């Protein structure tokens, strides 16, 4: 797939491969006596982020961390100021946090974990992860052992889906510099594999609770109707709701196919569930559809609100706001959506 325009692309074997990888990971993690599979996922995330970003985290000035964290908070509270805040954050992120990847083999101590959390907070991309890492009490050495195993084994199952990533990033080296998604856009292959495995682990962890919920909502990204500039979806508490204006639109097709489910379009992960109420936390389960690098964040965003998630991946990226020159229709594996619903 070299020459492909996407940083990742799935195929029909993907879901079998990721399941097999997940079985092996859970089997390997068993020897470390994590209290459950979610704690083993937290450990792996900490280890992988330490390996990828530890060098920068160790160097991060505390004033820059605080400034970026405050700006990210401000952006969430006042979305109307997004253009101005994003411009400022893009400059600071590029200058202080965006560094060429350098393997980090420093010991992961409690103090270093705090520095890593500061780094992740400063990027603004991992907000729904932070409580998981702040409350992590298992041995930090195990995080690194899991990470070593993961980096040796993930390519065996998942490399074929990210084999164009290096080429994609090389062709777009200066893209998104000075923009607020600079760290997200230039993510390392291991982060793609981590999100793929993380989504499969979360699907298993939350399945039982999801099945018990009486309301099931399908949450679609904006790119599912990206070619339709005249979308007539109506704003609602949990997202935009399709009014069936165009039978060719993917959202139209999904909403018609699952008439018993609520279907919402949520154009940006940061605004998802902003309007969630107590009744949603008690009754709702969601099937989130998203591109790879948002999977773990989306899953924890939902489960942190006591809304059990399931997810289906976009087969490839589709939007021009992050990835492409032009918006194209987002696609999913419909059999997988059937299985979840
Ligand atoms: S069919 Fe629905 S989602 Fe698609 S463009 Fe029309 S209103 Fe928007």
Query: Once rounded to an integer, what is the mean pLDDT over residues 290-294?
Result: 93
Nearest-angstrom CA–CA distance, 37 and 34: 7
Query: Once rounded to an integer, what is the mean pLDDT over residues 182-200?
Result: 96
Query: Once rounded to an integer, what is the mean pLDDT over residues 206-216?
Result: 97
Confidence bin at 327 (pLDDT 50/70/90): confident
Residue 276, judged by CB atoms within 10 A of its CB (0-12, 13-18, 19+), counts as middle
The token duo for 215 is 């309301």
- For the ranges 121-125, 131-135, 321-325, the lowest mean pLDDT is seen at 321-325
Nearest-angstrom CA–CA distance, 199 and 5: 24
- For the ranges 69-78, 106-115, 126-135, 301-310, the lowest mean pLDDT is seen at 69-78
Task: Return the pLDDT at 317.
Answer: 84
pLDDT greater than 50 at residue 130: yes
Phi then psi for residue 289, to 5 deg, are -115, 125
Ligand 1: atom nearest CA of 245 is: 6
- Indicate if the alpha-carbon torsion angle 235, 323, 122, 310 is positive or negative: positive
Tally of CB atoms within 10 A around 30: 11
pLDDT greater than 60 at residue 135: yes
Nearest-angstrom CA–CA distance, 185 and 208: 34
CA of 233 to the centre of ligand 1 (A): 6
pLDDT digits (tens, 9 = 90+) for 237-254: 999 999 999 998 999 999
CA of 231 to the centre of ligand 1 (A): 5
Ligand 1, atom 5: closest residue by C-alpha: 231
Which helix H or strand E contains 218, and what residues bound it?
Answer: strand 215-221
Sequence ranges of the domains in the chain: 14-204, 213-340
Task: Return the pLDDT at 79.
Answer: 83
Candidate from 233, 263, 289 with most ligand 1 atoms within 8 A of CB, to mutate? 233
Question: Under a CB-based contact definition with an 8 Å cutoff, are residues 237 and 264 in contact?
Answer: no
Which helix H or strand E contains 234, and what residues bound it?
Answer: strand 234-236
Question: Under a CB-based contact definition with an 8 Å cutoff, are residues 206 and 309 in contact?
Answer: yes
The token duo for 39 is 């704690």
Confidence bin at 190 (pLDDT 50/70/90): very high
Ligand 1: atom nearest CA of 232 is: 7
Q: Which residues contact 311 (CB under 8 A, 6 or more apart)?
A: 199, 202, 203, 287, 288, 289, 290, 295, 298, 299
H-only helix segments in the chain: 14-29, 37-59, 62-77, 82-92, 110-123, 130-134, 140-158, 165-171, 182-185, 189-212, 250-257, 278-283, 295-304, 334-340
Q: Using DSSP bridges, classify how beta strands 239-241 and 234-236 pair: parallel, antiparallel or unpaired.
A: antiparallel
Task: Return the pLDDT at 2.
Answer: 44
Q: Which residue has the tokens 């490839």?
A: 316
Task: Return the pLDDT at 226.
Answer: 64
Nearest-angstrom CA–CA distance, 169 and 7: 8
- Nearest-Å Rg of the Cα atoms of the chain is 19
CA of 232 to the centre of ligand 1 (A): 6
Query: Once rounded to an integer, what is the mean pLDDT over residues 264-281?
Result: 85
The token duo for 335 is 């059999």
Task: Return the pLDDT at 227.
Answer: 65
The proportion of the chain whose per-residue pLDDT surpasses 90, expressed as a percent, equals 77
Task: Return the pLDDT at 117.
Answer: 98
For residues 34 and 339, the model is more confident at 34
Q: Which residues contact 208 (CB under 8 A, 6 or more apart)?
A: none
pLDDT greater than 60 at residue 1: no
**DSSP 8-state assignment for residue 96:** I
pLDDT greater than 90 at residue 97: yes
Ligand 1 residue neighbourhood (C-beta within 6 Å): 225, 228, 231-233, 242-246, 249, 251-252
Question: Under a CB-based contact definition with an 8 Å cutoff, are residues 290 and 313 in contact?
Answer: yes
The proportion of the chain whose per-residue pLDDT surpasses 70, expressed as a percent, equals 98
pLDDT greater than 50 at residue 178: yes
Ligand 1: atom nearest CA of 250 is: 4
- For the ranges 152-156, 170-174, 235-239, 289-293, the lowest mean pLDDT is seen at 170-174
Instruction: Please state, in angstroms and as integers, the Cα–Cα distance from residue 54 to each residue in 117, 139, 227, following that order.
Output: 10, 17, 40
Average pLDDT, the chain: 93
């Amino acid at each position: 797939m070299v020459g492909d325009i996407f940083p990742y692309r799935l195929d029909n074997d993907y879901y079998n491969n990721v399941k097999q990888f997940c079985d092996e990971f859970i089997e390997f993690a068993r020897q470390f006596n994590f209290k459950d599979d979610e704690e083993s996922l937290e450990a792996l995330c900490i280890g992988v982020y330490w390996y990828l970003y530890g060098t920068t985290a160790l160097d991060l000035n505390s004033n820059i961390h605080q400034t970026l964290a405050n700006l990210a908070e401000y952006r969430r509270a006042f979305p109307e100021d997004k253009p101005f805040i994003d411009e400022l954050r893009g400059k600071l992120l590029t200058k202080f946090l965006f560094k060429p990847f350098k393997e980090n083999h420093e010991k992961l101590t409690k103090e270093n974990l705090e520095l890593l959390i500061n780094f992740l907070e400063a990027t603004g991309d991992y907000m729904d992860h932070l409580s998981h890492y702040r409350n992590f009490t298992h041995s930090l050495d195990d995080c690194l052992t899991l990470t070593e195993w993961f980096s040796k084994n993930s390519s065996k199952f998942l490399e074929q889906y990210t084999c164009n990533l290096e080429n994609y990033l090389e062709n777009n080296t200066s893209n998104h510099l000075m923009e607020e998604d600079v760290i997200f856009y230039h993510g390392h292959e291991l982060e793609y594999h981590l999100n793929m495995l993380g989504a499969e682990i979360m699907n298993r962890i939350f399945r039982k609770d999801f099945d018990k919920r009486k309301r099931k909502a399908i949450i679609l990204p904006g790119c599912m109707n990206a070619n339709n500039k005249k979308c007539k979806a109506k704003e609602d508490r949990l997202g935009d709701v399709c009014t069936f204006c165009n039978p060719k639109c993917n959202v139209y097709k999904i909403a018609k196919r699952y008439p018993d489910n609520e279907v919402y379009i949520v154009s940006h992960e940061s605004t998802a569930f902003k309007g969630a109420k107590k009744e949603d936390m008690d009754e709702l389960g969601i099937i989130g559809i998203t591109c790879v690098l948002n999977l773990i964040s989306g899953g924890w965003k939902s489960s942190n609100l006591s809304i059990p998630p399931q997810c289906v991946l976009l087969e490839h990226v589709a939007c021009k706001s992050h990835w492409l020159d032009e918006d194209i229709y987002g696609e999913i594996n419909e059999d997988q959506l059937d299985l979840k619903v």
